[in-house]
């Protein structure tokens, strides 16, 4: 699975979890952007991360 596809699956999971997140997008190979219900955005560095580490990094910045 490519990183872009993995981010889409993770986005769907987070949306189903009914958090304050409205979107998750891959900005480039090293950065994911989280979009929140209030319109705020936060970028997360995922450089050299495994898929498990991407989940941890995104969740650490999601709250």
Does the pTM surpass 0.85? The reply is yes
Q: What is the pLDDT of residues 14-25, one digit of tens each?
A: 999 999 999 999
Q: Is the dihedral of CA 18, 5, 62, 51 positive or negative?
A: positive
Q: What is the pLDDT of residues 24-63, one digit of tens each?
A: 999 999 999 999 999 999 999 998 889 999 999 999 998 8
Give CA–CA dist 45/18, Å, rounded: 23
Q: By the 8 A CB rule, do 26 and 34 touch?
A: no
| Domain ranges within the chain, ordered by starting residue | 3-61
């Amino acid at each position: 699975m490519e990183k872009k596809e993995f981010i889409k699956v993770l986005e769907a999971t987070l949306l189903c979890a009914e958090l304050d997140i409205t979107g998750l997008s891959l900005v480039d190979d090293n950065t994911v952007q989280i979009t929140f219900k209030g319109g705020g955005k936060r970028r997360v560095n995922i450089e050299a991360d495994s898929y498990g580490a991407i989940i941890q990094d995104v969740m650490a910045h999601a709250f």
